[in-house]
């Protein structure tokens, strides 16, 4: 299962690289989104159990609950990731709205040129 963790760390590094070195506001937003996707992948693959089943309690699984609980994948990180995805939607929507206003005021999407507040 370590391939999942390697890919997750790769995504986080790529997202961080985009956030630090790119010169377009839309690319910065994409980098932030890629980085949080890497963190979500890391979270979900932590709860994985080899040869596991989905953690949905149906009628026939209540008859043998200890067996079900020992084979089911952990559902808590999945709930955490759902909440975090929704928070990410809000941040992306707000960043895109601010970028639309920045283009109207400054005429460019380059973050090094959006600089009217002096030091």
Which residues contribute to the site for other proteins (CB under 8 A)? 12, 19, 25, 28, 32, 35-36, 39, 42-43, 46, 54, 56-59, 62, 76-77, 80, 82-87, 90-91, 93-102, 105-106, 111, 114-117
- Residues with Cβ within 8 Å of 40's Cβ and at least 6 positions away in sequence, in order, are 81, 84, 85
In the bound state with other proteins, the residue whose beta carbon lies nearer, of 5 and 71, is: 5
* Residue-wise burial string across 86-119, b where 16 or more C-beta atoms lie within 10 A, e elsewhere: eebeeeeeeeeeebeebeeeeeebeeeebeeeee
Query: Residue 42 has which token pair?
Result: 């890391």
In the bound state with other proteins, the residue whose beta carbon lies nearer, of 71 and 115, is: 115
C-alpha distance across the termini of the chain, in Å = 49
In the bound state with other proteins, the residue whose beta carbon lies nearer, of 53 and 57, is: 57
Q: How far is the CB of 41 from other proteins (least distance, A)?
A: 10
In the bound state with other proteins, the residue whose beta carbon lies nearer, of 71 and 93, is: 93
Q: How far is the CB of 91 from other proteins (least distance, A)?
A: 6
């Amino acid at each position: 299962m370590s391939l999942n963790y390697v890919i997750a760390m790769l995504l986080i590094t790529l997202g961080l690289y985009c956030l630090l070195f790119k010169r377009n506001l839309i690319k910065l937003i994409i980098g932030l989104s890629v980085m949080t996707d890497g963190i979500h992948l890391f979270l979900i693959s932590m709860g994985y159990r080899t040869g596991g089943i989905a953690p949905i309690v149906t009628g026939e699984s209540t008859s043998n609950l200890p067996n079900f609980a020992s084979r089911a994948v952990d559902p808590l990180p999945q709930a955490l990731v759902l909440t975090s995805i929704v928070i990410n939607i809000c941040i992306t929507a707000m960043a895109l709205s601010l970028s639309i206003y920045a283009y109207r005021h400054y005429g460019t999407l380059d973050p090094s040129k959006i600089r009217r507040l002096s030091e």
